[in-house]
């Protein structure tokens, strides 16, 4: 980049929220927007960056993941070698732009709005995400290796114990309402994977649709069995599992439950709204 006389600035994040703040500061202008933003880190760093962008549809992003086994990078098969990615981006014909979807979660009464690149949900999976996030240091961007696997499965068992079934419903595209008596969780997916769990079996980041996964069962053993199936990539529609597609969804639980967006715990809500923003996220490969 120096050899080509290209202007650039480097920003380092130290703690949660830095990427969001920095992204907002460098795009808080209608006339002097950067051409390209490079993001090096985990999916959570990319998610923060998206939430900070003032004009997501007017920015091109280059994402260099530290781990290609999860979510966004796994779905798009992104490379993790910084030199190879940057060299490809600078070559005349060495890159292409993928224009993909992202989601928006809104809490009840509009109290909270959050964009998500991978997934958002309420119930068991949010409890699991909350536990995982609290179990590793701030400097560890995502669970990795043997230690990471142990953390995930330990928190999985803890979430199984804490989560209780609840009555609720899902309203799809303001037209189709589905009632449930024993909801364990409902998650919305842009990409198929949440960590290593394939909960959005048919999710496609370019189809303008959310993939909704609703698991309803009273038995924690049955829930564990279904989670294991998702880890093996074998989760399908059944009496306990509903895999649905929509552009927008309203989810109601009869009591407040944990909510997350891209693994970031957002507190507890009874109602959330979710929608898909079609192909407004530009990723240079």
The predicted model gives 28-53 an average pLDDT of 88
- Domains with residue ranges and CATH for the chain: 18-101 (no CATH), 102-278 (2.60.200.40)
List CB contacts of 115: < 8 A, sequence separation 6 or more: 47, 50, 51, 56, 102, 103, 104, 105, 261, 277
With 80 as the cut, is the pLDDT of residue 246 above it? yes
Q: Which carries the bigger pLDDT value, residue 140 or residue 24?
A: 24
pLDDT, one tens digit per residue, over 57-97 is 989 999 999 887 778 999 998 988 888 888 877 775 656 88
Report the C-alpha gap between 270 and 267 in whole angstroms: 11
Q: Are strands 241-246 and 264-284 parallel, antiparallel or unpaired?
A: unpaired
Residue in this structure with the two tokens 């190879």, named with its chain if needed = 84
Give the model's pLDDT for residue 94.
Answer: 57
CA-based Rg of the chain, rounded to a whole angstrom?
Answer: 19
pTM: 0.91
pLDDT, one tens digit per residue, over 211-225 is 999 999 999 999 999
With 50 as the cut, is the pLDDT of residue 139 above it? no
Name the band, by pLDDT with cuts 50, 70 and 90, for residue 131: confident
């Amino acid at each position: 980049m120096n050899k080509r006389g290209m202007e650039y600035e480097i920003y380092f994040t130290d703690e949660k929220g830095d990427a969001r703040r920095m992204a907002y500061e460098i795009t808080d202008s209608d006339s002097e927007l950067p051409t390209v933003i490079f993001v090096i880190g985990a999916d959570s760093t990319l998610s923060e960056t998206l939430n900070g962008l003032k004009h997501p549809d007017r920015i091109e992003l280059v994402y260099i993941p530290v781990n290609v086994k999860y979510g966004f990078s796994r779905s798009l098969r992104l490379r993790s070698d910084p030199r190879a990615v940057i060299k490809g981006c600078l070559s005349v014909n060495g890159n292409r732009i993928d224009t993909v979807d992202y989601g928006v979660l809104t809490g009840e009464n509009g109290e909270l709005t959050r964009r998500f690149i991978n997934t958002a949900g309420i119930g068991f999976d949010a409890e699991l995400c909350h536990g995982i996030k609290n179990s590793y240091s701030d400097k560890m961007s995502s669970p990795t290796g043997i230690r990471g696997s142990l953390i995930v499965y330990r928190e999985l068992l803890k979430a199984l114990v804490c989560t209780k079934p609840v009555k609720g419903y899902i309203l799809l595209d303001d037209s189709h309402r589905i009632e449930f008596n024993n909801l364990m969780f409902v998650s919305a997916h842009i990409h198929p994977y949440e960590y290593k769990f394939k909960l959005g079996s048919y999710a496609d980041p370019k189809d303008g649709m959310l993939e909704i996964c609703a698991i309803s069962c009273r038995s924690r053993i049955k829930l564990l069995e279904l989670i294991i199936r998702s880890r093996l990539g074998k989760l399908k529609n059944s009496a306990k599992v509903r895999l649905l597609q929509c552009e927008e969804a309203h989810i109601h639980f009869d009591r407040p439950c944990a909510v997350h967006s891209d693994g970031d715990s957002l507190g507890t809500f009874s109602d959330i709204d979710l929608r898909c923003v079609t192909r407004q996220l530009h990723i240079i490969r």
